[in-house]
Amino acid sequence: MQRRLSTWLLLAPAGLWFAVMLVLPLCFVVVFSFGERAAAGGYVPAFTFAQYANLPARAAAFKNTLMLAPLGTILSLLIAYPLAYFLAMQADPKWRTLLLILVIVPFWTSILIRSYAWIFILGGQGLPAVIDWLGFGQVRLINTPFAVLTGIVYGYLPLMVLPVYVSLERLDKRLLEASADLGAPPLRSFLQVTLPLSLPGVATGCMLVFILLMGEFLIPAMLGGGKVFFIGNALVDLFLQSRNWAFGAAVAVTLVVIMLVTVSLYMWLMRRMGGVRDDVALM
C-alpha cells in the first residue's frame, strides 16, 4: 500500500502536467475544429464538418511541409552521422568535451537571431556575391526552398548529432575488435556492427527533428521570404491574422493525425528492421 501511494505521488506532477497542458488543450482544439468562425473572427460553437471539408484550401502548405520536413531530416542525418561518428570514435578524448560543447553553443543564441544572420549570409551581398566573384554567375539563394532547407539543417543539426553520438559512444568497442579479429575489413565492420547498433540513436534523432520540423514556421517565414509556406505558417495566419480559429483548429488536428500516423509507421518499420529496442526508440 505504502509503495503504491509513493508511486502515485511520484507520477502526480507529470500526470497533472500532461492532463492540464496537453490533453485538455487538445480537447479544446478538437472541439473548436467542429465550430465556426465568428463574424469578427474567433470562434462560435457549432457542429459542422465544414472546416474539414475546407482542408484542400491549405493543400500547398501540407505539400510543402511533407516534402521539406523529411528532406530536412534526411539531410541533417547525412551531415550529423559522420560528425557524431568522429566525435565518438575518432576524436581525442582530451578534446571531446570541448567539441561537444561547440556543437551545442549555437543553442545559446535565439534561433530568431541566427536566422537573421542567415538572411545576410544568403542575401545578395553574402554568398551569392562570392559565387559571382568566383565567376560562376549570379544566383539567387535567399527566399528559396534551398534557403529554408539550409536554415532547417543548420538549426536542427545539434538535435540529430547528440542522440547519434550517445548511441555510438555507448557502443561496446570490444565488438569492433572481435569483428576485426574475425577478418572483417573496416567497412564491413561498420555496416554490420556499428551502423545497426547506432540505429536507436538515429531513430531518436530523426523523430526529434522530424516532429519539430512539421511544426516549424519561423525559418520558412524568415529565409523563405514568406513564399515557402509551411503548415506552421498557415496556423499562425489562421489564428493571428484571419482569426479563423475553427479552421485553424481543423488544420491543427489534421497535422496531429498525420504526425501520429507517420510516427507509428516509422516506429513499426524501425522495429521490423530489428535495430530498435523499445526502451530507446524514443529518447
Partner 1 sequence: MTDKIDHISRQQFMEELRRYQKGSVTRRHFLGVTGLGAATVVLGAAMPGLIPRAAHAQTIGDRVVLATWPNYHDVANFDAFTAESGAAIQVNVFGSNEEMLAKLQAGGSGWDVFVPTNYTISTYVEQDLIEPLDLVLLPNYDTAAFDQRFAGPGTVDGKIYAVPKNWGTTGFAVNTNHTGGTTPSTWKEFFDLTQTTFSGRTMVHDYQLTTIGAALKAFGYSFNSIDPAELAMAEELLLATKPHLFAISSDYQPSMRSGDAWMTICWTGDGKQLNRDMPEIVYVLGKEGGELWSDFYAIPKGAPHRDAAYALINFLLKPEVNAKEALFHGYPVADARLNALLPPEVLNDPILYPAADLLNALEFGAAATLTDPNRAELMARFKSA
* Whole-number Å distance between alpha carbons of 132 and 32: 52
Which stretch in 24-32, 40-48, 206-214, 261-269 sits in contact with partner 1 by CB under 8 A? 40-48
Do residues 171 and 197 touch, judged by C-beta distance below 8 A?
yes
> Which of 224, 208, 214, 250 is closest to 65 using CA atoms?
214
Calculate helix-pair angle for 195-214, 245-272, nearest 10 degrees.
170
**Closest separation in Å from C-beta 75 to partner 1:** 23
- Residue 37 makes contact with partner 1 by CB under 8 A: yes
- Residue 252 makes contact with partner 1 by CB under 8 A: no
- Binds partner 1 by CB under 8 A, chosen from 127, 239, 259, 280: 239
How crowded is residue 10: how many other Cβ atoms within 10 Å of its Cβ? Answer: 10
- Binds partner 1 by CB under 8 A, chosen from 15, 25, 42, 186: 42
> Apex CA 246: angle with CA 240 and CA 251, to 5°?
80
* Whole-number Å distance between alpha carbons of 5 and 267: 34
- Residue 29 makes contact with partner 1 by CB under 8 A: no
- Binds partner 1 by CB under 8 A, chosen from 170, 173, 227, 277: 227
- Binds partner 1 by CB under 8 A, chosen from 234, 250, 253, 276: 234
How crowded is residue 113: how many other Cβ atoms within 10 Å of its Cβ? Answer: 8
**Closest separation in Å from C-beta 137 to partner 1:** 15
| Continuous segment of H or E residues that includes residue 188 | helix 186-189
**Closest separation in Å from C-beta 258 to partner 1:** 17
Segment 70 to 129, residues that bind partner 1, using CB under 8 A: 119-120, 123-125
Compute CA distances 150 → 85, 143, 192, whole Å.
22, 11, 32
**Closest separation in Å from C-beta 42 to partner 1:** 5
- Residue 203 makes contact with partner 1 by CB under 8 A: no
Residue nearer to partner 1 on the CB measure, 194 or 233: 233
Residues contributing to the site for partner 1 (CB under 8 A)? 37, 39-42, 57-58, 60-61, 64, 119-120, 123-125, 140, 142-143, 221, 225-227, 229, 233-234, 237-244
